[in-house]
Chain A
Amino acid sequence: MKLIGIGASEGVAVGPAFVPQTGGPEPERHRITEDEVGAELQRFRNAVEAVVGRLSETVDGLRRSGNEDEAGIFEFHVEMAEDPELASAVEERVGNLESPEAAVLAAGEKYAAEFAAMDDEYLSARADDVRDVTGQISAELMGRAASGFESMQKPSVVLARSLAPSDTARIEKGMALAFVTAEGSKTSHVSIMARSMGIPAVVGVGDTLEEALNAETVAVDGTKGSAITNPDRETVAEFEKMSEAFAEERAALDEYRDVEARTTDGRRIEVAANLGSASEAQDALEWGAEGVGLFRTEFLFMERDNLPTEDEQYDAYSAVARAFGDKPVIVRTLDVGGDKDLPGIDQVHEDNPFLGWRGIRMSLDTPELFAPQLRAILRAARHGNLKVMFPMVAEVGELRAAKKMLQEARAGLEEEGVEVGEVETGVMIETPAAAVCASELAEEAAFFSIGTNDLVQYTLAADRGNERLGRLQSADHPAVLALIRQTCEAAEKANIPVGVCGEAAGEPEMIPKLLSLGVTELSMSAPSIPRAKKVVSEL
């Protein structure tokens, strides 16, 4: 059987399946006797201490490997385990002759239910953290493992509905070959952990996972986002070969993570990451990103019933600005169109959303959407090196209008006495019109970034998502290359940098062509960075 999901961590693996036991621990005893109370309370305190000790070790380990976000989660777990209110709730229950293992679960459940009932999505999700911690204390009291990972006998592929941070952290080093989960996205804990552990992961395979739980062997392709249960001998051999090749390639590329990319004739090429959300920043730095060439801001606006506030946007932009410090981070203003609903914005149905009211066109028409975003970027800019970039520009008038709104946002903030930072403004070159008018745009812009995916689609009149048009979906087409050349020439004349932030930027066979046309920066999905740096260094 084949499971299809999201490739959340690159690589391939094949091995025996391991399914951790689900649900929290069941208390062995519910009641104790009067004369056991004192000893049981002492056992509870010891169990808390043991759990806190283990969690603290995890915090240290994560911090050493640079996973600050994940370390923060476990620090929160430590504080919950040591919580004085939790302790007094347990003491009271044990005083009433409840067993400590049952008491801690019941007390935890009370808080978990309170959290789960909160309106705030982030806070309600913390219910699982509470259950996670009290489950660990209860398991410790009963002298057994909370999630069964300790019973892993040999390196295995872990199959689970979802995996909590404490689950992944408790797995002994080298025991997990890969993760396959029913739930999750690229930014879930399990995905972040898998990438930092360097093992493949396929997440979000959905309910088909239930049928796979009885599998003996699983072959996982975390690059493509698929897994095969009980593979035949040929498939196993194929996966083993791929796994070896991948490991060799990764080891060979590792030394390139931290190099400054430079061609053999000394041309400095900045290799940066594309980010789809603020949580990807740390990962990108670990892959060797020298900046962010494209920070998409759509994640802030998706899957919710209200628009994000200026403060929320400020938090997200500041987090990335801080993570990258002096390294440049290019924030692209909102680029959605009729294909996605924005709460509170009057969008009409469009037959051709990719040729419709989107990107800068929509932003200029909806100051209630655009102004808070610009204000948030200006405020966040003082925490790092932020630049702002406008998408879907087709004529210089749009750039002028957007710059004017940015200027107004700055004036407004200054008047309010709010501190702002400097931001350069640039243009995303993704319409053929922008490429053709590049010299005019270059007079008004501090940088260009060529979005090759859309430039290809608009130049070749070929829908990006149409599977039959494969041969018309590459930047390696004379018309597209001519537009890139024209853009680079205009940029060179105006003495402004020009980057590429589409798929082409990370493709080894396209990099030499792009650089020969005059591109000075390449931005791509983070795992492609070491390979791109190697290609550049050998040119």
Chain B
Amino acid sequence: MVFIKGDREVNAKSVLKITGLAKKGEKLTIRAQGDDAEQAVETLADLISSDEH
């Protein structure tokens, strides 16, 4: 799974990389492949866009 912001693409398993992307109000794209890719992306998108963190 990868996170994409602008032209940057980062490994979603890397907390160091993700922290570098963390900023409120900016657009983030998530891409995944595998059996449960669709569900994984949906769950993650919900989690990121909720303000309960």
* Smallest Cβ-Cβ distance to A379: which chain B residue: B51
Query: Which listed segment binds B: A77-85, A170-178, A268-276?
Result: A77-85
Once A84-B11, A311-B51, A315-B51 are accepted as A-B contacts, the answer to whether A115 and B23 lie under 8 Å apart by CB is no
Residues of A with C-beta under 8 A to B14: 83-86
User: How distant is the Cα of A433 from the Cα of B27 in the complex, in angstroms?
Assistant: 52
Contact with B along A71-98 (1 / 0, CB 8 A): 0000010011001111000000000000
Q: CB of B17 within 8 A of chain A?
A: yes
Do B19 and A126 have beta carbons less than 8 Å apart? yes
Residues of B with C-beta under 8 A to A76: 15
User: How distant is the Cα of A240 from the Cα of B50 in the complex, in angstroms?
Assistant: 53
Q: How far is the CB of B50 from chain A (nearest CB, A)?
A: 11
Residues of A with C-beta under 8 A to B19: 115, 123, 126
User: How distant is the Cα of A39 from the Cα of B19 in the complex, in angstroms?
Assistant: 31
Do B15 and A115 have beta carbons less than 8 Å apart? no
Q: How far is the CB of A311 from chain B (nearest CB, A)?
A: 6
In this complex, how many residues of chain B approach chain A with their Cβ under 8 Å: the count is 14
User: How distant is the Cα of A348 from the Cα of B10 in the complex, in angstroms?
Assistant: 49
Once A120-B23, A123-B22 are accepted as A-B contacts, the answer to whether A86 and B51 lie under 8 Å apart by CB is no
Q: CB of A515 within 8 A of chain B?
A: no
Q: CB of A447 within 8 A of chain B?
A: no
Residues of A with C-beta under 8 A to B16: 80, 83, 85-86, 111, 130
User: How distant is the Cα of A120 from the Cα of B19 in the complex, in angstroms?
Assistant: 11
Residues of A with C-beta under 8 A to B20: 111, 114-115, 118
Q: How far is the CB of B48 from chain A (nearest CB, A)?
A: 14
Do A79 and B15 have beta carbons less than 8 Å apart? yes
User: How distant is the Cα of A248 from the Cα of B42 in the complex, in angstroms?
Assistant: 57
Residues of A with C-beta under 8 A to B24: 311
* Smallest Cβ-Cβ distance to A111: which chain B residue: B16
Q: CB of A357 within 8 A of chain B?
A: no
Residues of B with C-beta under 8 A to A84: 11, 13-14
Q: CB of A324 within 8 A of chain B?
A: no
Contact with A along B1-33 (1 / 0, CB 8 A): 000000000110111110110111000000000
Q: How far is the CB of B15 from chain A (nearest CB, A)?
A: 4
Contact with B along A112-156 (1 / 0, CB 8 A): 001100101001001000100000000000000000000000000
Residues of B with C-beta under 8 A to A130: 16
Residues of B with C-beta under 8 A to A315: 51
Q: How far is the CB of B22 from chain A (nearest CB, A)?
A: 6
Most buried by A among B14, B16, B20: B16
Of B17, B22, B52, the residue contacting A85 (CB under 8 A) is B17
User: How distant is the Cα of A461 from the Cα of B44 in the complex, in angstroms?
Assistant: 58
Q: How far is the CB of B29 from chain A (nearest CB, A)?
A: 19
Q: How far is the CB of B20 from chain A (nearest CB, A)?
A: 6
* Smallest Cβ-Cβ distance to A130: which chain B residue: B16
User: How distant is the Cα of A318 from the Cα of B52 in the complex, in angstroms?
Assistant: 9
Residues of B with C-beta under 8 A to A115: 19-20
* Smallest Cβ-Cβ distance to A114: which chain B residue: B20
Residues of A with C-beta under 8 A to B51: 311, 314-315
User: How distant is the Cα of A311 from the Cα of B20 in the complex, in angstroms?
Assistant: 21
* Smallest Cβ-Cβ distance to B17: which chain A residue: A85
Do A85 and B11 have beta carbons less than 8 Å apart? yes
User: How distant is the Cα of A114 from the Cα of B19 in the complex, in angstroms?
Assistant: 10
* Smallest Cβ-Cβ distance to A85: which chain B residue: B14
User: How distant is the Cα of A79 from the Cα of B11 in the complex, in angstroms?
Assistant: 14
Residues A343-359 near B (CB distance < 8 A): none
Residues of B with C-beta under 8 A to A126: 19
* Smallest Cβ-Cβ distance to B20: which chain A residue: A114
Q: How far is the CB of A244 from chain B (nearest CB, A)?
A: 46
User: How distant is the Cα of A10 from the Cα of B34 in the complex, in angstroms?
Assistant: 55
Q: How far is the CB of A114 from chain B (nearest CB, A)?
A: 6
User: How distant is the Cα of A500 from the Cα of B23 in the complex, in angstroms?
Assistant: 41
* Smallest Cβ-Cβ distance to A79: which chain B residue: B15
User: How distant is the Cα of A115 from the Cα of B17 in the complex, in angstroms?
Assistant: 10
Residues of A with C-beta under 8 A to B22: 120, 123
Residues of B with C-beta under 8 A to A314: 51
* Smallest Cβ-Cβ distance to A89: which chain B residue: B16
Do A83 and B15 have beta carbons less than 8 Å apart? yes
Of A80, A118, A120, A123, the residue contacting B15 (CB under 8 A) is A80
Residues of B with C-beta under 8 A to A123: 19, 22-23
User: How distant is the Cα of A315 from the Cα of B13 in the complex, in angstroms?
Assistant: 26
Q: How far is the CB of B28 from chain A (nearest CB, A)?
A: 15
User: How distant is the Cα of A406 from the Cα of B35 in the complex, in angstroms?
Assistant: 49
User: How distant is the Cα of A76 from the Cα of B22 in the complex, in angstroms?
Assistant: 14
* Smallest Cβ-Cβ distance to A312: which chain B residue: B24
Q: How far is the CB of B10 from chain A (nearest CB, A)?
A: 8
* Smallest Cβ-Cβ distance to A81: which chain B residue: B15
User: How distant is the Cα of A314 from the Cα of B50 in the complex, in angstroms?
Assistant: 13
Residues A50-85 near B (CB distance < 8 A): 76, 79-80, 83-85
Residues of B with C-beta under 8 A to A85: 10-11, 14, 16-17
Q: How far is the CB of B27 from chain A (nearest CB, A)?
A: 17
Question: Can you list 6 A-B contacts (CB < 8 A)?
Answer: A80-B15, A85-B10, A114-B20, A118-B20, A123-B19, A314-B51
Q: Given contacts A79-B15, A111-B16, could you give 12 more A-B pairs where the C-beta distance is less than 8 Å?
A: A80-B15, A80-B16, A83-B14, A84-B11, A85-B10, A85-B14, A86-B16, A111-B20, A114-B20, A123-B22, A126-B19, A315-B51
